Amino acid sequence: MTLNLKNLLNPKIKISKMGEFQELQPIEGLEISAVSADLYKDGRDDLTLFYFREGANFAAVYTTSKVTSASINWNLNIKRHFVKALMINTQNANVFTGTKGAQGLKEIAHALSKNLTLKSSQSPKGVSEVVKITDLLFASTGVIGEEFPYLKIRNRIPELVKKLRSKQNKFVWFKAASAIMTTDTRPKVAYEECKIGNKLIRISGIAKGSGMIAPNMATMLSFIFTDANIPSVFLKAILKKVTATTFNSITVDSDTSTNDMVGIFATGKAKNSKIYNVLDPKLQDFEKALHRLALNLAKQIVVDGEGAKKFITINVIGARSTSMAKNVGFAIANSPLVKTAIAGEDPNWGRIIMAIGKSGENIVANKIQLKIGNYLVAEQGKVEKNYVESDVKEYMKWDSINIEVNLNLGSGEYKVYTCDFTHDYIDINADYRN
């Protein structure tokens, strides 16, 4: 399996190096491949396949947009919790493509089913098992409303299946993560370990996303794989809980895509002791590890926000509830005025106060305390008496900016992660289809 450098040869970005990335360990029961179907017309990888020869328990969360892709519709309609494969295409979202888009996806499913069934007959056990189309999941990302190039995709499925590799190393994961990118400047990968009982559990994950990823639900695309033996119903509960403070705590541009999906697949090969309920103490370490991995991926997305130069953490404390803290945090994070001020390294803290006020929450202005970095900027309805703007201006030159808002109304708190808003964002999205 060779790395397709065309995924990374964008003249506007610095080529990512594998040495910069976390070492991901292989997940037993998983095979991976990526090829080019020439969807981008430049030969970059744009099809990715994850295959579970013996199946995997599965759970996912999807976009809350009322306009969704044919891929998401397919996944929701088959209602499966145990699957054999996931295939992802980039460049084309397969949204607003009418019956042709849905029919094209079905033809792809039949072709993938046929080729994976053939592959199963070549297993060392010599057992042929039919891979049904209802065993398959799909994800898409790219331009909305363009005709779905299903023939190009269908024609490359034999090669995609042929190139499946069970021996995953850093190189294989890097290739897969690169193949799902669109406007991303670098692949996003993460790895964690934990224990369930006395069994070592491995968790590997990839993600894509840099814009159009407001977290009304799942944000962007992320696929997480583990060798743990956990029933789908418990995976779903844990994933929803973890997503709430990871993928759903980030925003780049306030938009919500039609194709957003976060999926987790458990092969069961770790052969850990049986899990009887979602509150089983044996799941605690797994949930913590999954949270670390998801937050890692979520932050990588923010860092790679289209045109982003600065990573911003907004910590809202002292709210009446978590919901209140979250709403205030996102009011700040999604404010173009706040994001452009930070891009310009201007300590214009009045814009943050403005954003708090427009949150729709019942704020008590005189109780607000505002910190930028370690500097107390404002409290009791006015600028703090010892505030020195030159100190904060110097702090604004940092690549990572922390903002803390204390509402002094209760114990609710929430962290939101975002990035600045630069002219590069306009350049990228004004030229997205080219």
Give tens-digit pLDDT for 189-209: 999 999 999 999 999 999 998
Question: What confidence tens digit (pLDDT) does each residue in 368-390 have?
Answer: 999 999 999 999 999 999 999 99
Higher pLDDT, 305 or 390: 390
- Which tokens hold the place of 117? 């069934």
- DSSP secondary structure of 66-90: SS--HHHHHHHHH--SEEEEEEEE-
Cα 217 to Cα 226: distance, rounded to the nearest angstrom:
22
User: What pLDDT score does 35 carry?
Assistant: 97
Cα 400 to Cα 390: distance, rounded to the nearest angstrom:
18
Cα 428 to Cα 253: distance, rounded to the nearest angstrom:
13
Is pLDDT at 11 greater than 50 in this prediction?
no
Cα 94 to Cα 138: distance, rounded to the nearest angstrom:
11
User: What pLDDT score does 132 carry?
Assistant: 96
Is pLDDT at 24 greater than 80 in this prediction?
yes
> Could you state, in order of their start, the residue ranges of all structural domains in the chain?
19-303, 311-430
Return mean pLDDT, the chain.
Answer: 91
Cα 284 to Cα 106: distance, rounded to the nearest angstrom:
39
User: What pLDDT score does 425 carry?
Assistant: 81
User: What pLDDT score does 6 carry?
Assistant: 67
> 284-303 vs 232-244: helix axis angle to the nearest 10?
50
Cα 289 to Cα 306: distance, rounded to the nearest angstrom:
28
Is pLDDT at 216 greater than 70 in this prediction?
no
User: What pLDDT score does 434 carry?
Assistant: 65
CATH code at 19-303: 3.60.70.12
Q: Pick from 365, 367, 391, 369: which is nearest to 378 by CA?
A: 369
Q: Are domains 19-303 and 311-430 of this chain identical in fold?
A: no
Question: What confidence tens digit (pLDDT) does each residue in 70-84 have?
Answer: 999 999 999 889 999
Question: What confidence tens digit (pLDDT) does each residue in 95-150 have?
Answer: 999 999 999 999 999 999 999 999 887 766 666 789 999 999 999 999 999 999 99
Fill in the amino acid letter for 235. Answer: L
Mean pLDDT for 86-96 is: 96
- Which tokens hold the place of 432? 């997205």
User: What pLDDT score does 154 carry?
Assistant: 98
Mean pLDDT for 210-239 is: 83
**b/e per residue 56-80 (b: at least 16 CB within 10 A):** bbbbbbbbebeebbbbbbbbeebeb
User: What pLDDT score does 324 carry?
Assistant: 98
Catalytic residue from among 182, 183, 219, 267: 219
Give me the percent of the chain exceeding a pLDDT of 70.
91
Higher pLDDT, 1 or 312: 312
Mean pLDDT for 259-279 is: 95
Cα 339 to Cα 140: distance, rounded to the nearest angstrom:
29
SS (H, E, C) 23-52: CCCCCCCCEEEEECCCCCCCCCCCEEEEEE
DSSP state of 92: B
- Residue 287 burial (CB < 10 Å; 0-12/13-18/19+)? middle
Is pLDDT at 9 greater than 90 in this prediction?
no
Instruction: Tell whether pTM > 0.95.
Output: no
Higher pLDDT, 391 or 216: 391
Confirm if 265 and 58 have CB atoms less than 8 A apart: yes
- Residue 297 burial (CB < 10 Å; 0-12/13-18/19+)? buried
Give the other-Cβ count within 10 Å of 409's Cβ.
Answer: 19
Is pLDDT at 428 greater than 80 in this prediction?
no
Question: What confidence tens digit (pLDDT) does each residue in 42-73 have?
Answer: 889 999 999 999 999 999 999 988 999 999 99
Q: How confident is the model at residue 239 (pLDDT cuts 50, 70, 90)?
A: very high
Q: Which range, of 8-12, 29-33, 230-234, 361-365, averages the lowest pLDDT?
A: 8-12
Q: How confident is the model at residue 219 (pLDDT cuts 50, 70, 90)?
A: very low
- Tell me if residue 388 falls in helix, strand or coil: coil
Is pLDDT at 217 greater than 60 in this prediction?
no
Q: Catalytic site residue 219?
A: yes
Residue with tokens 């969704």: 68
Multiple choice CATH, 311-430, 3.30.413.10, 3.10.20.340, 3.40.50.1100, 3.20.20.70: 3.10.20.340
Fill in the amino acid letter for 198. Answer: N
Establish how many alpha carbons lie within 13 A of residue 197's alpha carbon, considering only the half-sphere containing its beta carbon: 10
